């Protein structure tokens, strides 16, 4: 049993989009929306989402061009403001009036934007290894690989490619961990016998065209605008996306910010780590 049902909906510009729908403990359960990072998909939350269903109904979206959602014929649409509109569309179609937002990396940028745009709709936010500014070193690393990986022949090659890209972020991963991680990232090729990453390579187009300091734009005004909301920030201890200085700046501007540093992790924690899970549970209990 998968633990979720397939949910399909249409974006405002007609793309067929997908989300996993994990049922909560009852029909009136509050809703949590989980949003993945740039090159990821809904499988990123395969561990956390069932855990959250003890209390929440959990929606986990594949952003356009990822996972089972349709690719966009216009690569310029691959940017957070578009994804945010897709998320509001999903919430509207499901008649969700209030939501807890859980966002990893790009998904966290989206969470901040959504809360600033519709503050009454958001009850709490979990930001996974992301803040209002992105460390240029991490941004350069991401630009170096997004959209450039070639298809691979088999799962062993998929694991090797996954490890080459992400090895520094997960120094304690076992062979089984790497296989599990790769299976969340790859899918059978649409044409051919190999495996390919489960995203449209064109998602790299806007990223490549932008200046280093412009992806994302300065979100400090957005962060300041949502500072009255309960927010938890998780940071990988050696993240190259959310620097320790960036996290300290967030704490200075929001003294009641909840913070957890996940040991032995770079960008970004899986949220299956015991300390990450404990921090999320404690935060959501208090934020209720």
> Does the pLDDT at position 215 exceed 60?
no
> Does the pLDDT at position 1 exceed 60?
no
Rounded to an integer, the average pLDDT of 244-273 is 98
Average pLDDT, the chain: 94
Rounded to an integer, the average pLDDT of 92-105 is 98
* Least confident piece of the model among 115-129, 206-220, 253-267: 206-220
Q: How does pLDDT run across 55-92, given as a tens digit for each residue? A: 999 999 999 999 999 999 999 999 999 999 999 999 99
> Does the pLDDT at position 214 exceed 90?
no
Rounded to an integer, the average pLDDT of 33-39 is 97
Q: How does pLDDT run across 145-174, given as a tens digit for each residue? A: 998 888 999 999 999 999 999 999 999 999
Q: Which pLDDT score, from 0 to 100, does residue 210 have?
A: 63
Rounded to an integer, the average pLDDT of 250-260 is 98
Quick one: tokens of 91? 């919430």
Q: pLDDT category, 213, cuts 50, 70, 90?
A: very low
The full set of domains in the chain, from first to last, is 5-138+216-287 (3.40.50.1820)
Radius of gyration of the chain (CA): 18
Q: How does pLDDT run across 169-211, given as a tens digit for each residue? A: 999 999 999 999 999 999 999 888 899 999 999 999 988 776 5
d(CA 253, CA 221): 11
Element (H, E) at 177: helix 175-185
191 φ, ψ to 5°?
-130, 115
d(CA 110, CA 101): 9
Q: Which pLDDT score, from 0 to 100, does residue 192 have?
A: 83
% of the chain exceeding 90 in pLDDT: 89
* Least confident piece of the model among 1-5, 140-144, 207-211: 207-211
Q: Which pLDDT score, from 0 to 100, does residue 216 have?
A: 57
> Does the pLDDT at position 212 exceed 50?
no
Quick one: tokens of 195? 């495996």
Smallest Cα–Cα separation from 266: which of 165, 132, 118, 151? 165
Q: pLDDT category, 98, cuts 50, 70, 90?
A: very high
């Amino acid at each position: 049993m998968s633990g979720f049902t397939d949910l399909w909906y249409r974006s405002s510009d007609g793309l067929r989009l997908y989300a996993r729908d994990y049922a909560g403990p009852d029909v009136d359960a509050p809703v949590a929306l989980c949003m993945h990072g740039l090159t990821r998909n809904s499988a990123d939350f395969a561990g956390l989402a069932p855990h959250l269903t003890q209390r929440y109904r959990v929606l986990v979206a594949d952003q356009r061009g990822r996972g089972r959602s349709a690719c966009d014929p216009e690569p310029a649409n691959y940017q957070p403001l578009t994804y945010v509109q897709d998320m509001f569309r999903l919430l509207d179609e499901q008649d969700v009036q209030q939501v807890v937002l859980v966002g990893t990396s790009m998904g966290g940028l989206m969470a901040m934007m959504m809360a600033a745009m519709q503050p009454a709709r958001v009850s709490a936010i979990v930001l996974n290894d992301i803040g209002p500014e992105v460390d240029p070193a991490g941004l350069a690393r991401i630009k170096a690989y997004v959209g450039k990986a070639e298809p691979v022949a088999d799962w062993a090659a998929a694991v090797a490619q996954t490890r080459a890209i992400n090895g520094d972020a997960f120094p304690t991963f076992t062979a089984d961990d790497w296989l599990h991680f790769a299976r969340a990232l790859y899918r059978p090729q649409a044409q051919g016998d190999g495996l390919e990453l489960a995203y449209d390579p064109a998602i790299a187009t806007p990223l490549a065209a932008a200046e280093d300091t412009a992806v994302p734009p300065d979100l400090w005004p957005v962060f300041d605008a949502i500072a009255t909301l309960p927010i938890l920030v998780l940071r990988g201890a050696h993240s190259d996306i959310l620097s320790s200085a960036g996290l300290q700046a967030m704490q200075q501007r929001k003294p009641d910010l909840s913070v957890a540093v996940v040991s032995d992790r770079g960008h970004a924690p899986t949220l299956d780590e015991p300390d990450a899970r404990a921090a999320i549970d404690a935060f959501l209990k208090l934020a209720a």
